[in-house]
Amino acid sequence: MNRTIVLASNNAGKLKEFGELLGPLGFNLRTQGEFNVPEAEEPHPTFVENALAKARHASRLTGLPALADDSGVCANALGGAPGVLSARFAGEPRSDLRNNRKLIEELAAQADKSAYYYCVLVLVRHADDPQPVIAEGRWDGDIVAEPRGQGGFGYDPHFWLPSLQKTAAELSAQEKNRMSHRGQALRVLVEKLR
């Protein structure tokens, strides 16, 4: 397999996080923006289908192996919503503030505030790879109405971790990477690549 992998994202944080674990294995990770690859459509109802579509799109346009992720927060009382719509839960333009407000409002009448972050990573060796490498991670917590913490992004200020008595936004970057859904999925991927 080519040692250069296209990250089907332009997120600098993801590039750094993924690069730290994949670099020691000899992989050189580059963002799709470096190849002028536009963002892929994400029309599917599942995380794995969206991640696969993004990976195939980046691979097809660059001719290189590609890695994509799809992730979101899933509230149990809402049947897994916002789920794949996490980034656009309150509509366009994307807004963490409005997304969080909508989630809190929809959970207000629910006794069950449990939720989990879910991430799926998909690596394709080429655009038509019949056996993509797939890795998943899940991080359980509860949704709290009052935001806490300055770190993280998205739903982190409302994602309460009972065992730590903190929200995800109150964790250091190192703590979050060690425990998070994305960190878990990335470690599974690394083990599969070894």
* Span 99-104, average pLDDT: 98
**How do residues 10-47 score in pLDDT, each as one tens digit?**
887 788 888 888 888 899 999 999 999 999 999 999 99
The pLDDT, as a whole number, for residue 1 is: 63
Q: Phi then psi for 127, rounded to 5 degrees?
A: -55, -35
* Span 163-184, average pLDDT: 93
Is residue 2 scored above 80 in pLDDT? no
* Span 47-62, average pLDDT: 98
Find out whether 30 and 4 touch, Cβ atoms under 8 Å: yes
Q: Decide: helix, strand or coil at residue 172.
A: coil
- Catalytic residue numbers? 70
Find out whether 66 and 55 touch, Cβ atoms under 8 Å: yes
What's the pTM value of the predicted model, to 2 decimals? 0.92
* CB atoms near residue 6 (< 10 Å): 27
Kindly tell me the sign of the dihedral angle through the C-alpha atoms of 90, 94, 98, 101.
positive
Backbone torsion region of residue 63, taken as left when φ is above 0, otherwise alpha when ψ lies between -120 and 50, otherwise beta: left
Residue 106, token pair as written in the block = 């929809």
**How do residues 129-156 score in pLDDT, each as one tens digit?**
999 999 999 999 999 999 999 988 899 9
Average pLDDT, rounded, for the chain: 94
155: enclosing H helix or E strand: none
Residue among 16, 112, 117, 26 at smallest CA distance from 71: 117
Q: Which of 18-27, 95-104, 108-117 has the lowest mean pLDDT?
A: 18-27
What residue ranges do the domains of the chain occupy? 4-193
Matching CATH number, 4-193, of 3.40.50.300, 3.90.950.10, 3.30.420.40, 3.40.50.2300: 3.90.950.10
Nearest 5°: CA angle at 101, between 141 and 90? Answer: 105
